[in-house]
Amino acid sequence: MFKSEDLLGLKDAINWPYLLDVLGFQKINVKTRRCCCLLHGGDNATAFSWHKSFFHCFSCLRSGDAIELVQVVRGISFVDAVRFLADLFGFRIRSVSSSMEKHKSEAREIPQYISDRLLNQDFEKIQIEENIREIQNE
């Protein structure tokens, strides 16, 4: 189990264009934050988008954070995906070692982390919807 504050720090440190390039995403447009989606394999260069710590695909409607993306693209576990990202961005992730600490941190931090994440996800969807409206109104 990793320290949840380190996981949040890692997600904030994600350089999306670099990560997407390493994972093999094509036609990455840094300005519009769009590219082709490797998850469903389409060639629509505006299907996949990212914002802060989340991604969303407008074609296959998959969304999540960088850890989930690495898990799906590479077919690896959560732990391996965290290690992959930590190595890629030179980020140090501390493990919660003793079972006592693990229990304490899970009891205290994980529900908060999950509720933050859900709030964030709603926020991200609203942001993306607003972006679409702006684009349509231009």
**Site residues (CB under 5 A) for Zn ion?**
37, 39-40, 57, 59-60
Q: Where are the alpha helices (DSSP H) in 16-138?
A: 16-23, 66-74, 78-88, 99-137
Token pair 């994440």 in the structure block, residue: 117
Nearer of residues 7 and 36 to Zn ion, judged by Cβ: 36
Nearest-angstrom CA–CA distance, 33 and 72: 20
Angle between helices 66-74 and 16-23 (to 10 degrees): 10
Nearer of residues 20 and 37 to Zn ion, judged by Cβ: 37
Nearer of residues 25 and 84 to Zn ion, judged by Cβ: 25
Q: Considering the complex, what minimum distance in angstroms separates the CB of residue 111 from Zn ion?
A: 30
Q: Considering the complex, what minimum distance in angstroms separates the CB of residue 103 from Zn ion?
A: 38
Nearest-angstrom CA–CA distance, 55 and 52: 8
Q: Where are the alpha helices (DSSP H) in 13-52?
A: 16-23
Nearer of residues 73 and 76 to Zn ion, judged by Cβ: 73
Q: Considering the complex, what minimum distance in angstroms separates the CB of residue 6 from Zn ion?
A: 29
Q: Considering the complex, what minimum distance in angstroms separates the CB of residue 90 from Zn ion?
A: 29
